[in-house]
Amino acid sequence: MNRYTTLKQLGDGTYGCVLMGRSNESGELVAIKRMKRKFYSWEECMNLREVKSLKKLNHANVVKLKEVIRENDHLYFVFEYMKENLYQLMKDRRKLFPESVIRNMSFQILQGLSFIHKHGFFHRDMKPENLLCMGPELVKIADFGLAREIRSKPPYTDYVSTRWYRAPEVLLRSSTYSSPIDLWAVGCIMAELYTLRPLFPGNSEVDEIFKICQVLGTVKKADWPEGYQLASAMNFRFPQCVPTHLKTLIPNASNEAITLMKDLLQWDPKSRPTAVQALRYPYFQVGQVLGPRPQSQEVKKVETRMQVQKQMSDSKTDPQQSSSESKASTSSSRNQQQHQPLQPIPLPQSESKGVPTHAGWRRRTDRTQAKESGYSALGKTSGNLLSRAPAVPPVHGRVDWASKYGGNR
């Protein structure tokens, strides 16, 4: 680890903490995840699912694992640095994203997912907190702590993904689910990008199915016989609900966007398009340039800001500064101030009126710090992660969301 200098802590979780660091050789910013558990051999390290998956995946829309370091029986993951996650990008916005921006973000998510599935993995925990961003122009899939190989044999764990993005077959305790659960989550995320609020904010597994039925309507037995078998095995009855058209809930989405979301949110996993098929939908065939743009300028801004802060900190603590340096002329100091790099200006807090933002959805804070860091593969907790969430909002009119929240869904 002597090749890196740690700058500050980004987050802390059950299984490890995440630090911002800088390469001593290149000056490049990185995110370093230090595992709390001790590892006594390389074989033990290489058996981690996250290592198994990430070491095989190299794509512009998948977070890059630069290296794995074992030192004094501690394990460190060195990732490329990303400024924020998609949840952070959405949470304090006062204006809805333009559809062109949503299209580009959705395209990148599906591109990364297509690559992951092509290489034999499915993610199992797709959600805004696990999508790292450099602004809306670049999105990368992260947190492979729950990833599984598609060819691996079931049964699989029934607790996967965070409840609001969990596919119906997982909610009904299927042990043979596969990559379609990732596409269901993309449909949920895409809807959230349009409205800045979750589509299915259930406060329990049963309530989650109820929320899904309120929007999609009760699934017919002929349309998903396997689902009814799963429900019967749990002694569960689907609530009887009339579907609400997605266009009513997401009025700012184009018809092409509604078509894609509707297909991604099919009850039957066999009816959902694959990531490759989703990328061929008319929604993406609009002549818009899609995909990540060069982000060197954004990274340089972050690095410059860190260097300026370090210089300012050093100057405050340097006892050798002469009195002549501190007595600069007024005109000279004004001139220097004009040429200092601009400091980031925090966005204003969400107001109680206007766009219904994430601010109305209060969550428990089991892993708040880890999630806020944007590097959330810090270990998984089982059980319910939600506090009581509001009921599905009325479909007519505008809704105000007033309170702040943070943490897990």
What are the tens digits of pLDDT across the range 84-106? 999 999 998 889 999 999 999 99
Considering the candidates 73, 92, 125, 263, report the single residue annotated as catalytic.
125
d(CA 331, CA 320): 24
CATH 2.60.40.10 fits 84-284, yes or no: no
Domain edges within the chain: 4-80, 84-284
d(CA 85, CA 136): 10
Residue 247 has pLDDT above 80, yes or no: yes
The single-letter DSSP state of residue 349 is P
Regarding predicted confidence, which is higher, 335 or 180?
180
Same fold, 4-80 and 84-284: no
Sign of CA dihedral 55, 78, 376, 360: negative
Residue 345 has pLDDT above 50, yes or no: no
Identify which of 371, 353, 303, 354 has the alpha carbon closest to the alpha carbon of residue 131: 371
Give, in order, the Cα–Cα distances in Å from 69 to each of 2, 29, 45, 65, 276: 11, 17, 10, 11, 35
∠ CA 116-294-88, rounded to 5°: 65
Confidence of residue 323 (pLDDT cuts 50, 70, 90): very low
400 marked as part of a ligand binding site:
no
Q: Is 125 a catalytic residue?
A: yes
Residue 260 has pLDDT above 80, yes or no: yes
The pLDDT value given to residue 36: 84
353 marked as part of a ligand binding site:
no
The pLDDT value given to residue 304: 57
Domain at 4-80: CATH code: 3.30.200.20
State the pTM of this model.
Answer: 0.72
User: 76 has which bridge partners?
Assistant: 34, 69
- Coil vs helix vs strand at 287: coil
Rounded-to-10 torsion of CA 200, 202, 206, 207 = -90
Regarding predicted confidence, which is higher, 42 or 102?
102
d(CA 379, CA 349): 30
**Inter-residue contact 274 to 183 (CB < 8 Å):** yes
Residues of the chain by 3-state class (helix, strand, coil), percent to 5: 35, 15, 50
The pLDDT value given to residue 122: 85
33 marked as part of a ligand binding site:
yes
The pLDDT value given to residue 231: 96
Task: Give the mean model confidence (pLDDT) for residues 326-336.
Answer: 44
The pLDDT value given to residue 199: 97
What is the pairing mode between strands 121-122 and 84-85? unpaired
Sign of CA dihedral 107, 147, 188, 272: positive
Residue 121 has pLDDT above 70, yes or no: yes
Label residue 19 exposed, middle or buried (CB < 10 Å: 0-12, 13-18, 19+).
Answer: buried
